Chains A and B, each alone.
Chain A
Amino acid sequence: MHPENLTEILRQHPFLANLSAHHMEVLIGCASNAHFAEGEYLIREGEVANTFYLIRTGRVALETDVNARGTIRIQTAGPGEVLGWSWLISPFRWHFNGVAVADVRAVALDGECLRTKCENDHDFGYEMLKRLSQVMERRLEATRLQLFDLYGNSTGVNT
C-alpha cells in the first residue's frame, strides 16, 4: 500500500481526528496495515507489548483466563477504537489476550518507534498522550459502570 493511502486511512480514524499534517508525518513512519482472521490473537497476556492498534473494521475481544471459571471476555473494541496502551507504559507487557471475534483490519503502530518519537518530539508525545488519556478515561468510566452490575436486580418499572 502506498503511504498516501495509509495517510488517508489514518486521517479517517477517530483517534487521529484533526492531527496536524506534521504530526501525521511523524506518526506514519511507525504505521503498517494489519489483518487478523476471526479467532486470531492480536495480543497475548504476558507477551511484550510493542504494538498499538487502530481498529478499522471487525471486533477484538479482550479476555483473560480466570482459572476454574474459564475464559471471561470483559470488553470489546470495534471500528474507530484503539487497542492497547501497554506499549507506552513500562514494563511494556500485555495484561490481557486480544482475540479477533470478527475479521479485523487495523493499522498497527510500532510501539518502540512511537515511544522514541514521543521522546524526541515532546509536542508529538503530548498530542499522543492527550488522545490516549481520553480513551483511558472513557474506558475507566465504562469499567466502573460495569462494576455496578447494573442489571443485577433493578428492573425497569417492575418490582
Chain B
Amino acid sequence: MQSIEPASLGRMIQVLKVKGYCVVGPTVRDGAVVYAEIGGLDDLPRGVGDEQSAASYRLRDREDGAFFGYTLGPVSWKKFLVPPRATLFSAIRNGRGFDVAAGNAADPPQKMAFLGVRPCELRALELLDKVFLGDDVVDPLYKANRDNSIVIAVNCSTSGGTCFCASMGTGPSAHGGYDIVLTEVTGPDRHYLTVDADTARGEAIVQELQAPSATPAEIEEAEAAVARAADMQGTRLDIEGLPRALKDNFDHPHWDEVARRCLACANCTMVCPTCFCSTVEDVTDLTGSRAERRRRWDSCFSSEFTRVAGGNIRPSVRARYRQWLTHKLEHWVDQFGAMGCVGCGRCITWCPAGIDITAEAAAIRNNGAQV
C-alpha cells in the first residue's frame, strides 16, 4: 500500500488517459455529483459534500477540500456497462428477406476507467455480473464493457443520511472487486490518499505514480476514517430472516399503505445500481428498408411492463411496488444467491414521495408497525 498527495491523483488520471482509458469519475453537474467523463483533477468535486434524506439531496461545501467528500449521486455505474439505450442489431431488407448486422456489442471496445467506485457499488457490479455473465448466457455488450473497464474504488470516509451499507455488509470499506482502492484522509495537518492495487493492471498504474509506501500511522488513520463512516449512516436494514418475512407477508396491508404514496414514477429503478430490467423495441426507418432492434432501460413500475394478450398481470401500484421490493430483498436470493440491494440509499433519496425501502421492509416485517 502506498500513500499519495492530492496532486498524484491528477497524475493517476493522466496515466489512465495515456494508457487509452476514458476516465469516468465524479463531477458536479446541475447541482449533483454525477459520474461522467473527466479530463483531470479539476473536474473532480473538490470540497463538495452532500446532505441526503428521503426525497432530499443538497450539495454543500466542505472546508477540507476532499475529492471524495460526497457520498453518492443519482448516477450509478450500470449506465456505463448497460447503456440506457443500445442498438442490439440492425437489419436491411433484401428482397423478401433481410440481412442482419450486429449492433453496439460489435463496436470497437472503449477502454473505461471507473474512478471513485464506492464499496456498495463494487457489490452492485458483482451483482450485475451474476445477471449478465451467467453460466449459460452472456450479454455481449455488458461483457465487452466490463472486460474493458478498470475499477478504481474509493473507501467511504463519510456516509449520508440514506446510506445503509453497513447493515447490508457491503461497505463502507471495500473487500475485493477492484483494481485499485483509494482511501482519502483529510486531517487538520495533511490531505493524502492511501492507494492499494489488487490486480496486475492496477499495479501497473500505481507503479507509475512512484509513490512511497504508506506508513503504519497513515494506514491506521485511513482505517479509522472509514470506521467512523459506518457510524454516520442515517438508516439501516435488518436483513436477518427478511426474505422469509416478505414471503410470509404477500398480502400485508402495508403494501396498500405504500401504494397510496407511491407515484409509480420509476425513479427508484432508474437510480438503483442493480435494477437491470430492460425492454426491446423494434423500429424501421421511414422507407421501411432498414430496421433496428433497440434495448432501453425499463421499470417494473411501468404500466406496460407486464402486459400480456388479454390484460395486465400487475395493474395496481401496490403489486408493482411489492414486485420491486420483494425482487430486491427476496427473489434475488432465489435467483442469484444474494440480495439485489446493496444499501446505497439512492432509491430513498431520489423517491419524490420519500418512500424508504428500509422503513417499508421493517413495517412489513413488524406487522405494519412503523419503526
> How far in angstroms is the closest Cβ of chain A from B155?
47
> How far in angstroms is the closest Cβ of chain B from A151?
10
- B286: chain A residues at CB < 8 Å are none
Whether a CB of chain B sits under 8 angstroms from the CB of A153 is: yes
Whether a CB of chain A sits under 8 angstroms from the CB of B310 is: yes
Q: Tell me the dominant secondary structure on chain A's binding face.
A: loop
- Give Cα distance in the complex from A39 to B333, angstroms: 62
Binary flags per residue of B268-309, CB closer than 8 Å to A gives 1, else 0: 000000000000000000000000000000000000000011
Interface residues on chain A, number (Cβ under 8 Å): 6
Contacts between the two chains (Cβ within 8 Å), count:
11
> How far in angstroms is the closest Cβ of chain B from A157?
11
Binary flags per residue of A124-159, CB closer than 8 Å to B gives 1, else 0: 000000000000000000000000000011110011
- B308: chain A residues at CB < 8 Å are 154, 159
> How far in angstroms is the closest Cβ of chain B from A30?
48
Binary flags per residue of B295-334, CB closer than 8 Å to A gives 1, else 0: 0000000000000111000000000000000000000000
Interface residues on chain B, number (Cβ under 8 Å): 3
- Give Cα distance in the complex from A153 to B310, angstroms: 6
- Give Cα distance in the complex from A155 to B308, angstroms: 9
- A158: chain B residues at CB < 8 Å are 309
- Give Cα distance in the complex from A35 to B310, angstroms: 45
> How far in angstroms is the closest Cβ of chain A from B315?
16
> How far in angstroms is the closest Cβ of chain B from A58?
37
Nearest-neighbor residue (CB-CB) of A154 within chain B:
B310
- Give Cα distance in the complex from A15 to B309, angstroms: 41
> How far in angstroms is the closest Cβ of chain A from B310?
4
- Give Cα distance in the complex from A159 to B309, angstroms: 6
> How far in angstroms is the closest Cβ of chain B from A154?
5
> How far in angstroms is the closest Cβ of chain A from B198?
46
- B310: chain A residues at CB < 8 Å are 152-155
> How far in angstroms is the closest Cβ of chain A from B307?
9
Nearest-neighbor residue (CB-CB) of A158 within chain B:
B309
Nearest-neighbor residue (CB-CB) of B307 within chain A:
A159
- B309: chain A residues at CB < 8 Å are 153-155, 158-159
Nearest-neighbor residue (CB-CB) of A153 within chain B:
B310
> How far in angstroms is the closest Cβ of chain B from A101?
32
> How far in angstroms is the closest Cβ of chain A from B56?
42
> How far in angstroms is the closest Cβ of chain A from B361?
33
> How far in angstroms is the closest Cβ of chain B from A59?
32
> How far in angstroms is the closest Cβ of chain A from B314?
16
> How far in angstroms is the closest Cβ of chain B from A150?
10
- Give Cα distance in the complex from A159 to B311, angstroms: 11
> How far in angstroms is the closest Cβ of chain A from B313?
12
- Give Cα distance in the complex from A158 to B309, angstroms: 8
- A155: chain B residues at CB < 8 Å are 309-310
- A159: chain B residues at CB < 8 Å are 308-309
> How far in angstroms is the closest Cβ of chain B from A148?
11
- A152: chain B residues at CB < 8 Å are 310
Nearest-neighbor residue (CB-CB) of B310 within chain A:
A153
List 11 interface pairs A-B (beta carbons < 8 Å), by A numbering: A152-B310, A153-B309, A153-B310, A154-B308, A154-B309, A154-B310, A155-B309, A155-B310, A158-B309, A159-B308, A159-B309
The 6 closest A-B pairs by CB, nearest first: A153-B310, A154-B310, A155-B309, A159-B309, A153-B309, A159-B308
Extra inter-chain contacts (9) besides given A152-B310, A159-B309, CB under 8 Å: A153-B309, A153-B310, A154-B308, A154-B309, A154-B310, A155-B309, A155-B310, A158-B309, A159-B308
